[in-house]
Amino acid sequence: MKVRTRLALVAAFVIANVAPCRAGDATATELLRRGIALRREHRNEEALASFEAASQIEPSPCATAQIGLAQQALSRWSEAEVNLTLALAATHDPWIRKHRTAIEGAMATVAMHLGWLEVDATPAEARVIVDGHATLAAGVPTRISTGPRLFVVEAAGYSSFQGEAAIAAGVVTRVTASLRSLERDDGAAKTDTASPDTRQDLVAPVPSSANSQAREASVLAPRPGTVRLGVIPLSFMVLGTVAVGVGLGSGWLAVETTRTRNDHCSSRYCDPTGLAADHDARSWSTMATVEIAAGSCAVLAGVTWALLSRSPHIRVVPTLGTTRGLTMEGEL
């Protein structure tokens, strides 16, 4: 674990232990104290329930911060970021001012576990369901925990699109999904599937500042022309190109050994060096012919496959703007 992460966790634990919140309502104060005692015993689920109950009785920035810290301890990163952001927004609260540095450290740790997911869906009214339960708005970057995330895009009267997106910290991952009309397909419902690996996570709305940053990154990110290449035809083309390159190298060696043979052979006689060079030249020439022929066939097969294939594709492009990294885009 990095030093920065350790310091943030220690700071959050110190807040929970030595700086209890004080509420005007006696019941709320007792619930907050109980939650802090539970945090000391690492019973974070029960502590979170106690903090939430106290906040319902008497909302306060301190209670909100304690909720966010408990959610951080439970790895509920999206919810923790929302509550810690709300707590830090209370700039005039004495408890928040006193512990702002520690809370900001906890926020930095939470941010290391969050990225954005933006699904550009057609039709526009499509809904996006992540990990089977969290619904996102199509076309809007949404804060989400890092790691592989299974998503489904659905719309009435259209086939569904299912895929998996790899979410990286601080990066906007964009996925494009164009759904087929069931009427166009004569009522035949079709579902495109990707990896069946399902993961559970919680998704919370992004603060307005994060949304604006994500939108700016979306505008600035380059979108090169799409190349419809499946994995298999692309593999054929790459391997074929490599084989042609190796064949050209073998051809060059054949030419060089032929020159050596000519230097050591006359019209009637070859010395031992010339004989060896003649044998090598023939071998390199045969290898060059086979490699270039096989490589050319592989490239031709890959191009033909790519032109005839209608399989879904993905691409990875660099992302510029407020976030930097790689963007994965997929399309049906």
Q: Is the pLDDT at 115 greater than 60, yes or no?
A: yes
Judge whether 206 and 116 are in contact, CB under 8 Å.
yes
Closest Cα partner for 74 from 83, 86, 62?
83
> Per-residue confidence at 138, pLDDT binned at 50, 70, 90?
confident
Q: Which residues pair with 116 in a beta bridge?
A: 143, 172
- Which pLDDT score, from 0 to 100, does residue 54 have? 92
Closest Cα partner for 8 from 110, 84, 113, 76?
110
Q: Is the pLDDT at 323 greater than 70, yes or no?
A: no
- Which pLDDT score, from 0 to 100, does residue 77 have? 94
Q: How far apart are the first and last CA of the chain?
A: 40
Q: Is the pLDDT at 321 greater than 60, yes or no?
A: no
Q: How far is CA 156 from the centre of its chain?
A: 28
Q: Is the pLDDT at 199 greater than 60, yes or no?
A: no
> Per-residue confidence at 329, pLDDT binned at 50, 70, 90?
very low
Q: Which residue has the tokens 């020159």?
A: 259
Mean residue pLDDT of the chain comes to 75
0.75 surpassed by pTM: no
- Which pLDDT score, from 0 to 100, does residue 295 have? 83
Percent of the chain exceeding pLDDT 70 equals 69
- Which pLDDT score, from 0 to 100, does residue 53 have? 94
**Which range, of 124-138, 207-221, 249-263, averages the lowest pLDDT?**
207-221
- Which pLDDT score, from 0 to 100, does residue 328 have? 45
Token pair for residue 121?
A: 């869906």
Mean predicted confidence (pLDDT) in 7-31? 63
Architecture of domain 3-111: Alpha Horseshoe (1.25)
Where is pLDDT greater, at 88 or 208?
A: 88
Judge whether 70 and 110 are in contact, CB under 8 Å.
no
Token pair for residue 270?
A: 């070859």
d(CA 116, CA 216): 13
Angle between helices 3-18 and 61-73 (to 10 degrees): 130
Q: Is the pLDDT at 127 greater than 50, yes or no?
A: yes
Where is pLDDT greater, at 219 or 91?
A: 91
Q: Where are the domains of the chain?
A: 3-111, 114-228+313-331, 231-308
Where is pLDDT greater, at 306 or 69?
A: 69
